């Protein structure tokens, strides 16, 4: 029997077959260790036999700074695997959701490089734990370009496992592989024989086709080289007047430039096709007068109804002029592709291409028909359409220094405005796009669209369609534009399908979800409303229009009157603290003013939010085009002030009192989702009128324990919440929030797990202060390097320690009341969760436990179950007098209470974190009347407490709280 050598990544070894259908075990030959290679972000460790599997390897990786890892076994001699059926192996998964695929390598043509045979059809998603048998059938390996399976699989030089981490998945890799073997059953061998015949035919056909195309390209290249000088001369000799002739001349000169770029990289077929078009245009007398621009006032090219005083029109036109004069070139071929290393550049290329196109095409634009502008449009459009690989701009590029090497969102960021630009140019100046360019660009647009359908529309990933609104709206608009460009009704149907899904992600008070059921991050709200408004312009969809209108409360509620957005109730990894763009609120304001005239006050408040920012900046983004066409002139109105209400978007209190505002959130993000790093936040705006007038902010308040002695906090420490038991009370002059929660090990894709630690918080919020008490404790004996309480303040200001317990931060005052920590320090802190120390823009007040002070957080300690660290903190504007009394109480029955006397009011929140109702007996505060508020979210009606013998009793529901309130003689 023929001996077969078999390879498999990480643990394949050379063995001899002893029977036709035998599965082979791979010996753990130490001599093979030197032949194993792995990426420098991974480790491999041989594991002892467990009696069921042999040759087991443990493979671990944290991935950074990449989004993938691999392990390879190179062979001293090529292996003949042409008659193999399937390679089988066992995988012990880690539940991470990463994707594992198997591939084989053979020598490349003329011995240069390698040919990769990749089996994606049987790739394994690591969404399981425990052992699972997997296989890679040779008949399902894709043949690479230039490959010949009969030749290549008889000379395998390496075997490789490749693991790709999905976007936004930060889970490390920790799997085991082993018990590798090869199986040859007769049915598979017959199928493989048939497959080999198909390979032979396909390979012969591919070789014939490639040779034919190469010959055609060589012939075309020679012809193009001969044609170029004369054609350039003729194009340059064309008249530059009237303007129609100047446009023709500018476009033809760009086409010659494009052909020259093709010739420079040996793309003869492309160059010849373009030059043939130029010759036809040169000899076409009718092309001397280009069709006058067309305007579709209702859909593609809506008019600028009110150009006078329009704050967006001038900025867009100025940006078009600037881009027209940029000396940007896009070389072709592989060198041209590699010249753009950072894929994020394409967001700008796409957006600016649309700005220039709109300015060149719109009847209301003074740049309409500008010859140089149209030529530049075509130059940039070519640059964008030629620079993807199979519809993806990520291939072979990175996101820049310190950024991930892959982000699928860039394709949508780039191609939505690019599709807008092409459709507009083709509609307005169809004669200017020659057949070769129309064919090339539309083929490129089709590839982009099909890639989006496959990788986004048809993919039910970690959030599911409709649960990622800022990308869903991009996809929505891209599909609609593609359906018009390429005449595909099915893509319009796809857009309509997504519109219905997007409608499910709107919260009751105007916010959209950010991802899954997370609270919205402010910066993304504008993306949602602008794209929905544009979809309404294109299609007349009432659903899209009404979603924009329903979002109207969001901006007045979430942007403080001076122009500072709120960034503490959003998800923990999106605390940006950036300014507010005027485009989103202005689009909402104008559409609300047009379609909901009875809601004039809300429209005017949105206009106010926009006008505040327009004092400082006139946006030059392509969203400004949408805003310019929708803008209507009407007066602003001041935003609401002096209130506390229940915000149904974040499911918590929100209050605003002049410069001072605050919010709390209790929204359940779902099982396994990333938890909260803070339940409350507050900010103080500046007395000075300026852009982004943030004086100071309470960004995060939490308790944490440390699992690793160093590293970024979100990786090394544990503080995010899970399994929350929350309650909220809203009254006219105060709000309360309580929570008991487990602390999680954070992971993306719904894979967060629970630690054996829990946190508990009680908060009171009033027009002049926030006061809260926070506790953390292990539920079993647990090791950790430290326990800390943290109060994060921002943005970057010097912190003033006024006494041992009081700190000044701008016009904000932080007072520590009771706590059982060892000491208190201040230190710089991150704002965005991955900020390196050199980019810290915030400051934290850190309360440290005794062990961490003594050990410097370099040694672990076993914290006994129930060991509790707590602190009580008061945050207020500097011009508010400190509370007269702040006391934390531990009451019988496991109840906790926070008592506050301030501003002539006595408040006590009594928290019952237990599973059953409990009764609290409280000493009366000496007031004539005590009111009891029960936690009922947005509606909490008080009842009078009955005082007997100087005390009163109140029932506290399980996992909830009550708030007691009374007037006092203490006036501060």
732-782 confidence digits (pLDDT tens): 999 999 999 999 999 887 889 999 999 999 999 999 999 999 999 999 999
Bond preceding residue 208 cis, omega within 30 of 0: no
Tokens of 86: 């399937």
Do 88 and 170 lie in one domain? The reply is yes
Do 310 and 282 lie in one domain? The reply is no
Rounded distance between C-alpha atoms, residue 665 and residue 653, angstroms: 7
Do 253 and 302 lie in one domain? The reply is no
Residue 10, pLDDT score:
33
Does some domain include residue 750? yes
Does some domain include residue 505? no
CATH number for the domain that contains residue 155: 2.60.120.430
Give per-residue burial for 105-120: e unless 16+ CB within 10 Å, then b.
Answer: bbbeeeeeeebbbbbe
Helices (H), 632-728: 713-716
Does some domain include residue 551? no
**Are 379 and 138 within 8 A, CB to CB?**
no
Do 262 and 306 lie in one domain? The reply is no
Rounded distance between C-alpha atoms, residue 719 and residue 704, angstroms: 5
Do 309 and 350 lie in one domain? The reply is yes
Which residues have a Cβ under 8 Å from the Cβ of 771 and sit 6 or more positions away? 763, 764, 817, 872, 873, 874, 875, 883, 886, 898, 900
Do 721 and 865 lie in one domain? The reply is yes
Do 283 and 301 lie in one domain? The reply is no
Backbone angles phi, psi at 969, to 5 degrees: -80, -10
pTM higher than 0.95, yes or no? Answer: no
Rounded distance between C-alpha atoms, residue 70 and residue 59, angstroms: 10
Bond preceding residue 277 cis, omega within 30 of 0: no
Q: β-pairing, 173-183 with 86-94? A: antiparallel
Nearest in space to 412 (alpha carbons), one of 394, 425, 399: 394
Which residues have a Cβ under 8 Å from the Cβ of 842 and sit 6 or more positions away? 699, 792, 793, 794, 795, 796, 828, 829, 830, 831
Find the domain containing 366 and state its range: 295-455
**Of the residues 132, 160, 184, the one at which a domain ends:** 184
Backbone angles phi, psi at 91, to 5 degrees: -125, 130
Helices (H), 765-859: 850-855
Residues of the chain with pLDDT under 70: 1-35, 82-83, 110-112, 167, 182-201, 203, 285-298, 402-404, 460-466, 969-972
Does some domain include residue 845? yes
Rounded distance between C-alpha atoms, residue 897 and residue 763, angstroms: 10
E-assigned strands of 529-668? 559-560, 564-565, 643-647, 652-657, 660-664
**Of the residues 426, 455, 484, the one at which a domain ends:** 455
State the total domains in the chain.
Answer: 4
Do 805 and 857 lie in one domain? The reply is yes
Q: Which residue has the tokens 């320690």?
A: 801
Rounded distance between C-alpha atoms, residue 634 and residue 623, angstroms: 21
Rounded distance between C-alpha atoms, residue 476 and residue 495, angstroms: 5
**Are 964 and 908 within 8 A, CB to CB?**
yes
Rounded distance between C-alpha atoms, residue 36 and residue 159, angstroms: 10
Residue 492, pLDDT score:
97
Rounded distance between C-alpha atoms, residue 818 and residue 316, angstroms: 56
Do 264 and 147 lie in one domain? The reply is no
**Are 567 and 575 within 8 A, CB to CB?**
yes
CATH number for the domain that contains residue 741: 2.70.98
Rounded distance between C-alpha atoms, residue 850 and residue 819, angstroms: 12
Q: In this predicted model, what pLDDT tens digit does every residue of 452-505 receive, in sequence order?
A: 999 999 875 444 455 899 999 999 999 999 999 999 999 999 999 999 999 999
Do 38 and 138 lie in one domain? The reply is yes
Looking at residue 804, the DSSP 8-state letter turns out to be: T
Tokens of 410: 């860039």
Does some domain include residue 192? no
Does some domain include residue 950? no
Residue 189, pLDDT score:
58
Does some domain include residue 647? yes
Does some domain include residue 572? no
Q: Which residue has the tokens 């001369």?
A: 233
Tokens of 885: 């009394």
Rounded distance between C-alpha atoms, residue 880 and residue 874, angstroms: 11
**Of the residues 882, 909, 927, the one at which a domain ends:** 882
Do 347 and 378 lie in one domain? The reply is yes
Do 230 and 144 lie in one domain? The reply is no
Helices (H), 780-929: 850-855
Neighbours of 222 (CB within 10 A): 12
As a dihedral over the C-alpha atoms of residue 640, residue 645, residue 646, residue 650, rounded to 10 degrees, the angle is 40
Q: β-pairing, 943-944 with 895-902? A: unpaired
């Amino acid at each position: 029997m023929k001996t077969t050598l078999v390879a498999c990544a990480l643990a394949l070894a050379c063995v001899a077959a002893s029977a036709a259908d035998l599965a082979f075990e791979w010996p753990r030959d130490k001599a093979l260790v030197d032949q194993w290679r792995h990426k420098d972000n991974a480790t491999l460790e041989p594991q002892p036999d467990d009696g069921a599997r042999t040759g087991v390897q443990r493979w671990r990786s944290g991935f950074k700074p990449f989004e993938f890892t691999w392990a390879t076994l190179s062979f001293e001699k090529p292996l003949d695997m042409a008659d193999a059926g399937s390679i089988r192996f066992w995988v012990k998964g880690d539940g991470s959701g990463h994707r594992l695929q198997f591939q084989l390598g053979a020598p490349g043509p003329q011995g240069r490089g390698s040919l990769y045979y990749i089996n994606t059809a049987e790739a394994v998603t690591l969404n399981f734990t425990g052992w699972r048998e997997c296989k890679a059938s040779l008949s399902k390996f894709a043949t690479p370009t230039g490959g010949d399976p009969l030749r290549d699989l008889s000379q395998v030089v390496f075997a490789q496992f490749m693991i790709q981490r999905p976007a936004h998945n930060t889970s490390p890799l920790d799997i085991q592989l082993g018990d590798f073997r090869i199986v040859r059953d007769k049915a598979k061998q017959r199928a493989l024989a048939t497959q080999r015949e198909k390979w032979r035919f396909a390979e012969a056909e591919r070789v014939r086709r490639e040779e034919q195309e190469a010959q055609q390209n060589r012939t075309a290249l020679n012809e193009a080289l001969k044609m170029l000088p004369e054609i350039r001369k003729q194009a340059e000799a064309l008249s530059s007047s009237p303007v129609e002739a100047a446009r023709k001349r500018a476009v033809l000169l760009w086409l010659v430039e494009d052909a020259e770029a093709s010739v420079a990289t040996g793309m003869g077929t492309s160059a010849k096709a373009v030059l043939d078009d130029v010759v036809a245009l040169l000899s076409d007398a009718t092309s001397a007068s280009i069709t006058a621009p067309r305007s579709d006032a209702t859909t593609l090219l809506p008019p600028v109804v009110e150009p006078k005083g329009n704050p967006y029109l001038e900025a867009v036109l100025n940006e078009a002029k600037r881009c027209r004069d940029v000396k940007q070139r896009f070389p072709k071929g592989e060198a041209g592709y590699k010249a753009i290393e950072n894929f994020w550049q394409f967001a700008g290329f796409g957006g600016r291409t649309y700005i220039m196109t709109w300015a060149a095409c719109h009847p209301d634009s003074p740049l309409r028909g500008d010859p140089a502008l149209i030529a530049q449009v075509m130059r940039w459009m070519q640059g964008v359409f030629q620079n993807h690989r199979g519809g993806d701009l990520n291939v072979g590029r990175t996101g820049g220094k310190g950024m991930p090497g892959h982000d699928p969102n860039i394709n949508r960021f780039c191609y939505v405005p690019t599709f807008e630009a092409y459709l507009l140019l083709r509609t307005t100046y169809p004669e200017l796009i020659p057949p070769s360019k129309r064919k090339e660009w539309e083929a490129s647009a089709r590839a982009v669209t099909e890639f989006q359908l496959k990788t986004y529309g048809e993919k039910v990933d970690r959030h599911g369609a409709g649960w990622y609104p800022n990308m869903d709206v991009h996809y929505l608009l891209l599909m609609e534009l593609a359906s018009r460009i390429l005449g595909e009704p099915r893509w319009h149907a796809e857009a309509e399908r997504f519109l219905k899904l997007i409608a499910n992600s709107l919260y009751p008070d105007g916010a959209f979800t950010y991802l899954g059921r997370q609270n919205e991050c402010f910066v993304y709200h504008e993306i949602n409303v602008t794209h929905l408004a544009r979809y309404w312009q294109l299609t007349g969809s009432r659903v899209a229009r009404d979603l924009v209108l329903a979002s109207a409360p969001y901006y007045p509620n979430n942007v403080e009157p001076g122009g500072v957005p709120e960034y503490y109730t959003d998800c923990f990894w999106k605390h940006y603290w950036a300014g507010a763009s005027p485009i989103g609120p202005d689009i909402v304001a104008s559409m609300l003013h047009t379609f909901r005239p009875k809601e004039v006050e809300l429209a005017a408040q949105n206009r106010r939010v926009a006008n505040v920012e327009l004092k400082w900046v006139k946006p030059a983004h392509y969203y400004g085009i949408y805003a310019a066409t929708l803008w209507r002139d009407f007066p602003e109105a001041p935003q609401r002030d002096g209130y506390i209400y229940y915000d149904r978007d974040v499911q918590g209190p929100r209050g605003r009192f002049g410069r001072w505002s605050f919010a709390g959130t209790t929204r359940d993000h779902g099982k396994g989702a990333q938890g909260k790093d803070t339940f409350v936040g507050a900010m103080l705006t500046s007395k000075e009128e300026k852009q982004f007038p943030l004086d100071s902010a309470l960004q995060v308040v939490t308790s944490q324990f440390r699992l690793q002695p160093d590293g970024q906090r979100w990786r090394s420490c544990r503080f995010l919440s899970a399994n929350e038991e929350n309650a909220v009370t809203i009254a006219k002059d105060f709000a309360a929030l309580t929570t008991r929660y487990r602390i999680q090990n954070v992971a993306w894709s719904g894979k967060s797990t629970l630690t054996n630690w829990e946190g508990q918080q009680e908060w009171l919020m009033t027009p002049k202060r926030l006061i809260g008490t926070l506790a953390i404790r292990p539920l079993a004996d647990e090791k950790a390097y430290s326990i800390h309480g943290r109060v994060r303040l921002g943005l970057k200001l010097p912190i003033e320690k006024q006494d041992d317990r009081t700190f000044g931060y701008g016009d904000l005052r932080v007072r520590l009341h009771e706590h059982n920590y060892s000491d208190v320090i201040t230190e710089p802190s991150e704002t965005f969760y991955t900020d390196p120390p050199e980019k810290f823009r915030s400051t934290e007040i850190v309360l440290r436990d005794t062990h961490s002070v003594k050990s410097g957080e370099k040694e672990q300690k076993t914290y006994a179950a129930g060991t509790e660290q707590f602190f009580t903190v008061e945050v207020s504007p500097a011009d508010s007098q400190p509370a007269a009394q702040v006391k934390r109480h531990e009451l019988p029955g496991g109840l906790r209470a926070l008592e506050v006397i301030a501003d002539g009011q006595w408040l006590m929140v009594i928290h019952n974190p237990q599973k059953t109702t409990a009764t609290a007996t409280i000493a009366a505060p000496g007031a004539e009347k005590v009111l009891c508020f029960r936690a009922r979210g947005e509606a909490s009606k008080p009842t009078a407490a009955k005082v007997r013998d100087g005390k009163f009793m109140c029932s506290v529901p399980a996992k909830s709280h009550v708030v007691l309130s009374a007037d006092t003689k203490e006036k501060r």
